[in-house]
Structure 1
């Protein structure tokens, strides 16, 4: 099957496409999941903001946030000649120049199109061909835009084949990165403090969020996915890692040209080429649904980093943890793939790979070929701290992106929380597997909560985070807080509902881009009656900022015979603003602690000040909110329960049960002068009537009320003096 797909795609790239959509290859026409972007727009559902401030940015959303050009890219066929840049010995401006050819097939999706734009920055355009005909050389890119006047007028459904010959001229590392062999980087970890140098000359690309335009002309936006073929010419002895499968290597006397082809659509920021004098080695992942079908996991490292444990099994007691050790660093990758494939859906691409590079500073989830900093493959970091297990988790983060970021991709940078929050949540999924229980999962989620709360970015939503801060200043939002959107959905729905709905999302948008509204609507389609409506959930957690701050107070009443009522008052005390809701509607998970037992219950808190009554079979001495399950702050982690004795007595309601329409009454006695309120609530905690609210002297009083507005069911009288209260239950027939 893989060979057939690659052959079809090779035909696609190597033969000219005809000008009409009807003449496109059958592979493109008949593949249901690999469709062109849908231009239809659905209005987001109205959001009930009656209990909270409206967020201006969300209320202004009237349609898709995608800003589309007048075409969709079908294919990129990119050639880059890196022979000179890798054959040189320095990184001066003259050593950085390379030439490239990008053949781009596009589908016109508008009427009367006479010009198109590509993104291009620091690139010299040498010539342009349209359908094999050379056109007048356009002006050089202005404000990073290459404007091409077409030789005619084109309409919806027409295809064009554009060849752009260009020269890379950027003098600095930006989009394209070049490092020379022997360059000093830093001193290694103590106690050796050895000099760390670049072992081999290296060149690589890195594009997120919008740097692909610096190394190739393209439509550099995340919503536009296309098929890709990438060919790179390098000096003999160098190897090239890229997206998809290696189709061929063509050698001549001095150079090798590596031809890579990806049979899955890809957006520009996920395209990559990495070249150095690499040592290659592989693991294999056997698919869960077909163990006879395997996926190669290919690693690209320097020879020195590979040899440390070639001849012996890694032993933490005897192996030098300060050395770069690729074999040990990657020994958990197969189990990571197995875990995500089991929890989510089958691994969705033709291969996976990881390439180490110098001075990268992190990792990047290029489709099928993750790029990581070389420092990730040793056990101890430069400061000397043990980093192996944390680095395993960040490798799992990049792998998780193959599902959340590459299989499904944020359509705009406003939606980046889908990618980064999802992969950060994936770290917790991996730790759950690693520890063998939910304690591992919760421990990672507590860490992300801590990262968010310490940041202080409470006035910025995770939707539409400023683009310049996504991967830097505000990672506490786009990574940490966003991971809780996934976690709280899982908690609210339960695994039996959440994971099927999550897999449905992955299948619906497989190999496509999606916006936040698409994400929300997918869950709305698959989960009809969630505890919190999805419109409300996404409004407050994604489109709004902040989090609830809960203040608890509690009282108890002893009915005797082992029966106790516990009244829990939940107040939300977060400062409300245009961006921070006054009320977060959320499940609140309560723990009730007794002398030798613990009980659990969950309520939906949907008011800023609200109370709930629980009847328990033991004396409760304290109550807490489980902050593992909802992103919040607590004014006090555990609140002691007080027994109310200021209301001397409250007599039985008479009659009880009472027929609907009858009057009912009860007596209550008070000590001292009191401000008293007597209220009636239904069993869901909704206040139905205030029987009395005012000042009373010490003594006994009779209160009477009519039940004509009460539907049959159970009710509760709440008699309050200051912050103390007593309750009594009755039934209407």
Structure 2
């Protein structure tokens, strides 16, 4: 999730700005197992209403309350297992207060109705809406706990005659008595809540399947884009990244939704691609980044996810580096170095401003640009440094080992270090201490 050519107003809509204030995931005292949401969005006023059920396992003794990310939703008829449960809301979060303490190891079911108008992350498109990043504004979840991955089943209730996009795969569709349709989307593996999303509207759709999985191109701009031309490189990029990861397209299906503006955002099994950002790529082929960067997250970010935001570089540094690696594959070594030169320039600006931190740093950053200069750009440069230090064979062997071993799970910088050291049979602690941990 990054944009090189964003206007200042568009930059504010991108996701990473929020995590700057939450470097470490909150200790909630529980682990989410699954979310099941019935969601009826209203395109006229961007409001939502629906019902949600959360299954969770308590992992702290004598838990007094269940706290979720704060949002503007109104909660009704909340139940814990089969008993009513009190609810309160403030700027610190949404709290459900059990009548008695919850015990470690206990599995409970929390359910409730909700309605309201999300403050963030809902955008209008012709005939409908799409969500971007702030899932916990239109449902109840944990926005800043990337390590708490969970299954999601989303029943999206929309007007008849419209298309939809959701997390995972579409597994059902039924017509409701009032004439609307309910489309069921379901993930087959757990994902972090910041990746949850949906879209519905008057889409133009084209499919492309070339042995890498099912690839779907969707136009939500209301225009008449030549989708196969716009996304012509997608099959080749999927093939390239699959080889580098040692893992095929993780969910077996991947969609790219063309939306207005400069959007650049990965989601569970799809990406949001802003038509203006993509237009820049098509005008300057050797500077293309948006398709490969967001597609890279299907492996590094979605499949293998940083346990906390302090190790976000394992998501974003990887995607930035893989953009350079794709360019090397497609255009040659000079294109690889040119992409890394962009990262060098950004890091140099952060250093000139007196702010350079280790990759796995847990403090607050003074700006989004500086956070990106470290976790995106410096992360990519560190991967290039490892590549030179280890040699190509050992480096890519380590990347495959790391991705395969942690597929579907969460990771820390130490997990990545262990994988790379195993691949090269060398102690890489000097490099990791210098770049990642900031140790002497």
- Asked if 1:225 is matched to 2:149, the reply is yes
Q: Deviations over 1:430-480 (max 9, x none)?
A: 112212x43332332233223322443553213337666675453222222
- Asked if 1:268 is matched to 2:213, the reply is no
Q: Partner of 1:527 in structure 2?
A: 424
Q: Partner of 1:135 in structure 2?
A: 84
More displaced stretch, 456-465 vs 485-494 = 456-465
Which consecutive residues of structure 1, in runs of 5 or more, have no partner in the other structure? 1-63, 89-94, 180-197, 288-294, 307-323, 545-578, 582-733
Tell me which of 475, 485, 500 is aligned to 2:382: 485
Tell me which of 165, 171, 180 is aligned to 1:247: 171
CA distance in 1, matches of 2:281, 2:63: 57
Tell me which of 123, 128, 142 is aligned to 1:202: 128
Q: Partner of 1:453 in structure 2?
A: 348
Q: Deviations over 1:518-576 (max 9, x none)?
A: 222333344332xxx422212211233xxxxxxxxxxxxxxxxxxxxxxxxxxxxxxxx
Q: Partner of 2:61 in structure 1?
A: 111
Q: Deviations over 1:110-133 (max 9, x none)?
A: 2223422122311111121122x2
CA distance in 2, matches of 1:506, 1:373: 28
CA distance in 2, matches of 1:137, 1:349: 38
CA distance in 2, matches of 1:527, 1:100: 52
CA contact (8 A) 1:73 1:219 kept: no
CA contact (8 A) 1:241 1:300 kept: no
CA distance in 2, matches of 1:328, 1:354: 13
Map 1:551-562; keep pairs closer than 5 Å. none
Structure 1 residue 388 displacement after superposition: 4.6
- Return the TM-score normalized by structure 2: 0.86
Map 1:121-132; keep pairs closer than 5 Å. 121-131=71-81
Aligned length: 413
CA distance in 2, matches of 1:65, 1:373: 30
CA distance in 2, matches of 1:121, 1:66: 17
CA distance in 2, matches of 1:358, 1:443: 28
Tell me which of 301, 309, 318 is aligned to 1:413: 309
Tell me which of 238, 249, 261 is aligned to 1:347: 249
Q: Partner of 1:299 in structure 2?
A: 217
Structure 1 residue 417 displacement after superposition: 1.1
CA distance in 2, matches of 1:249, 1:389: 42
CA distance in 2, matches of 1:398, 1:380: 14
CA contact (8 A) 2:51 2:112 kept: yes
- Assess, with a 3 A threshold, how the Cα gap between structure 1 residues 110 and 466 changes in structure 2: closer, same or farther: closer
- Assess, with a 3 A threshold, how the Cα gap between structure 1 residues 418 and 107 changes in structure 2: closer, same or farther: same
Q: Partner of 1:539 in structure 2?
A: 433
Structure with the higher fraction of residues in helix conformation: 2
- Asked if 1:71 is matched to 2:30, the reply is yes
Which consecutive residues of structure 2, in runs of 5 or more, have no partner in the other structure? 1-22
CA contact (8 A) 1:378 1:388 kept: no
- Asked if 1:328 is matched to 2:238, the reply is no
Q: Deviations over 1:618-675 (max 9, x none)?
A: xxxxxxxxxxxxxxxxxxxxxxxxxxxxxxxxxxxxxxxxxxxxxxxxxxxxxxxxxx
- Return the TM-score normalized by structure 1: 0.53
CA contact (8 A) 1:329 1:376 kept: no
CA distance in 2, matches of 1:303, 1:534: 48
CA contact (8 A) 1:410 1:514 kept: yes
CA contact (8 A) 1:244 1:350 kept: no
- RMSD between aligned residues: 2.5
Structure with the higher fraction of residues in strand conformation: 1
Map 1:275-314; keep pairs closer than 5 Å. 275-287=200-212, 295-302=213-220, 305-306=223-224
CA distance in 2, matches of 1:78, 1:304: 28
SS at match of 1:286: coil
CA contact (8 A) 1:329 1:388 kept: no
- Assess, with a 3 A threshold, how the Cα gap between structure 1 residues 278 and 423 changes in structure 2: closer, same or farther: same
Q: Partner of 1:178 in structure 2?
A: 123
Larger radius of gyration: 1
Structure 1 residue 134 displacement after superposition: 4.1
SS at match of 1:496: helix
SS at match of 2:337: helix
- Assess, with a 3 A threshold, how the Cα gap between structure 1 residues 470 and 77 changes in structure 2: closer, same or farther: farther
CA distance in 2, matches of 1:498, 1:339: 16
Q: Deviations over 1:483-530 (max 9, x none)?
A: 01111111100112111111111122111111222222333344332x
CA contact (8 A) 1:279 1:303 kept: no
CA contact (8 A) 2:286 2:335 kept: no
Q: Deviations over 1:253-300 (max 9, x none)?
A: 63121110110110000111112211122111414xxxxxxx111122
- Asked if 1:213 is matched to 2:115, the reply is no
- Assess, with a 3 A threshold, how the Cα gap between structure 1 residues 65 and 528 changes in structure 2: closer, same or farther: farther
Of structures 1 and 2, the one with the larger relative CO (CA 8 A, separation 6+) is 2
